[in-house]
Structure formats: structure tokens, C-alpha cells
């Protein structure tokens, strides 16, 4: 029964994602290309400032649309986390895992050296079965 409920929610999530992408396209391309927006990596507060500025310059967004857009931008185009320097709390947030799993990532890094690629990160046993590939754009592997 739980699996059926989950499967029923998937199309709604996909539609919601498409709606936000369409909103992003509509709101952000009247003055500049979409690339100018999506190449940025900003905190939620900074995205809030950017969207507020856009609205003050004529972007047509309702308050609920603006909130939805800000949440999407912050989640999808938030700051990158350097997995070789981040503490467990920041790793947990970036990978959307528990702090215990993130602590295991930090411990693995201390024992085995810095991560060079996403594949190195996937080798951490505590991350087995976790979806970290979709988080790749928000990760930095600089040493």
C-alpha cells in the first residue's frame, strides 16, 4: 500500500517540478537568458534578494510564485559544498543525509584522504544506497 501511495505521488512531484521550471523560464527570461540565472550558486537569502530585485524591476510574480521560485532556486542552485573541507553538518545538508552518515563521510575522508570525484565519495560505505549522484552539481571536490 505504501508503495502504491508513493507511485501515485511521483507524477504530482514531476508536474510540480515542471511547473516551477516553467515559472523560472517565464519570470527570468524577459531581461536575460536562463543561463545567467542557473550558472549562479546562491544561498536562499541571496536568491530572495535577487527575486525581490527582479520583482521591483517588473518581473510578474505573485507572492506564492516568488516563494516557490526562491525555494526551487535555493535547492537546485544553492552554494556548492567542498566535501574535502566541510564539517559533518554541512555534508549532511549537501547530501541530504543524517548527521551520522555525514560524520562517517568526514571520518572516511580523514582516513583515506580527499575525494577527487563523485565516484570516490560513493565509495564511502555509509553512503551505500543513497542517491548522491543527483547532488553532484552542489558539490566541490577542490583540495
pLDDT at 27: 87
Read off the CATH number of the domain in which 51 is found.
Answer: 1.10.760.10
Tally of domains in the chain: 2
Same domain, 68 and 85: no
Helix, strand or coil, per DSSP, at residue 1: coil
pLDDT at 102: 97
Same domain, 55 and 119: no
pLDDT at 11: 46
Of 53, 76, 99, at which residue does a domain stop? 76
Same domain, 91 and 37: no
Same domain, 67 and 90: no
Q: What is the pTM of this model?
A: 0.64
Of 76, 102, 122, at which residue does a domain stop? 76
Torsion-angle region of residue 113: left (phi > 0), alpha (psi -120 to 50) or beta?
Answer: left
pLDDT at 32: 87
* Cβ count near 69 (within 10 Å): 22
Same domain, 39 and 72: yes
Q: How far apart are CA 69 and CA 19, in angstroms?
A: 10
pLDDT at 30: 85
Helix axis angle for 44-56 and 63-76, nearest 10°, is 140
- For 23, the domain range is 2-76
Same domain, 123 and 101: yes
Same domain, 86 and 64: no
pLDDT at 10: 41
Of 24, 59, 76, at which residue does a domain stop? 76
Residues in the chain: 143
Q: How far apart are CA 23 and CA 66, in angstroms?
A: 9
pLDDT at 28: 85
Q: How far apart are CA 122 and CA 53, in angstroms?
A: 39
pLDDT tens for residues 73-112? Answer: 988 888 899 999 999 999 999 999 999 999 999 999 999 9
Same domain, 7 and 71: yes
pLDDT at 103: 98
Mean pLDDT in consecutive groups of 10 residues from the start of the chain, 143 residues:
41 63 88 85 91 93 94 88 96 94 98 96 94 89 92
Amino acid at each position: 500500500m505504501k508503495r502504491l501511495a508513493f507511485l501515485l505521488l511521483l507524477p504530482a512531484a514531476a508536474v510540480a517540478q515542471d511547473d516551477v521550471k516553467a515559472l523560472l523560464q517565464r519570470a527570468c527570461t524577459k531581461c536575460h537568458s536562463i543561463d545567467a540565472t542557473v550558472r549562479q550558486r546562491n544561498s536562499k537569502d541571496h536568491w530572495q534578494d535577487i527575486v525581490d530585485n527582479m520583482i521591483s524591476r517588473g518581473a510578474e510574480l505573485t507572492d506564492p510564485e516568488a516563494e516557490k521560485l526562491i525555494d526551487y532556486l535555493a535547492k537546485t542552485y544553492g552554494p556548492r559544498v567542498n566535501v574535502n573541507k566541510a564539517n559533518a553538518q554541512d555534508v549532511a545538508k549537501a547530501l541530504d543525509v543524517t548527521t551520522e552518515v555525514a560524520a562517517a563521510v568526514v571520518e572516511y575522508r580523514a582516513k583515506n584522504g580527499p575525494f577527487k570525484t563523485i565516484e570516490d565519495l560513493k565509495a564511502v560505505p555509509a553512503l551505500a544506497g543513497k542517491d548522491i549522484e543527483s547532488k553532484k552539481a552542489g558539490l566541490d571536490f577542490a583540495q
